[in-house]
A = this chain, B = another copy of it.
């Protein structure tokens, strides 16, 4: 029996970049949080402290800022591809690079004035190895609520079950979704809003008997409408809204007054996939 080094990677996390593109009076704003992780032939630094193969994480940060100037950022998936390929192509000891980007939206108020949107964060996670490339797009923080058209009954019961069945409840969730692409040259600017539109439309349009059913509807809608997507993973917290018992105050409550609960919450996680796609080259969702 020996003690050995297993899987490892290192990088610079959360490099905050704001890029202003100036086209005369009219500016365009890109606001990103970029994380880089590299892996490869890195045993020496772990075992002996010999850093000959270690590109400093400070250099990764510099590279993010320099590439933001030239060639510029473009869509998050594009910028992540650019960066990930750079590290693998320019350093032979680096066998794989993973670049994750959070992109924060800003609404235009004027030629060079903006208001930050807060209703979701767009994500991109790109993995480039010496042989393969994988692009995963995503969204987090998209909070959706149906105030009716949600039931939950006919469920399994045991001695610890006290939940009453319901034919009318609030269904609310903060969508966290990641979808893996089949190709690395998709039209990212078109694909992302199409995915968000599909997710939202499926949530709104599904008469729900369980959040699992809604999850599957959302995932399959994305696959149906976006042929470029291989599979999609959804993590949907069930943000419980508890009906308040107003009977002590001689008041009725026909699904009108709710406590918005913090914890605990349900958590429904699932993948919807095509049955003929190649496997992922690495774990692709958090």
Contacts and interface: CB of A to CB of B under 8 A. Distances in A.
A162 to B, nearest CB: 5
A275 interface: yes
A253 B21 CA distance: 11
Interface in A159-204: 159-163, 170, 200, 203-204
Contact of A210 (B22, B54, B158, B200): B54
Contacts of A113: 144-147, 203-204
Chain A interface category by residue count:
35 or more
A267 B12 contact: yes
Nearest to A31: B260
A118 B119 contact: yes
A258 B258 CA distance: 23
Given A112-B149, A145-B114, A244-B65, A257 B5 contact: no
A198 to B, nearest CB: 13
Contact of A162 (B19, B70, B231, B248): B248
B213 A49 contact: yes
Interface string A111-146: 011111111100000000000000000000111111
A256 to B, nearest CB: 5
Q: Which of A112, A257, A258 has the most CB of B within 10 A?
A: A257
A286 to B, nearest CB: 8
Select the residue from A13, A15, A58, A70 with max chain B CB neighbours within 10 A: A58
Q: Is the interface of A mostly helix, strand, loop or mixed?
A: mixed
Interface string A263-286: 111111111111110000001001
A118 B118 CA distance: 4
A4 B144 contact: no
Contacts of A223: 3
Nearest to A39: B269
A79 B200 CA distance: 32
Interface in A9-56: 9-22, 27, 29, 31, 35, 37, 42, 45-56
B8 A56 contact: no
Given A3-B273, A35-B267, 6 more contacts: A6-B233, A46-B210, A46-B270, A54-B156, A57-B266, A59-B160
28 contacts: A2-B274, A3-B273, A5-B271, A11-B266, A13-B237, A18-B170, A20-B255, A20-B256, A21-B256, A35-B267, A45-B210, A46-B213, A49-B208, A51-B156, A52-B154, A55-B155, A57-B266, A62-B249, A65-B244, A69-B253, A69-B256, A70-B251, A109-B200, A109-B204, A113-B145, A113-B203, A115-B119, A118-B143
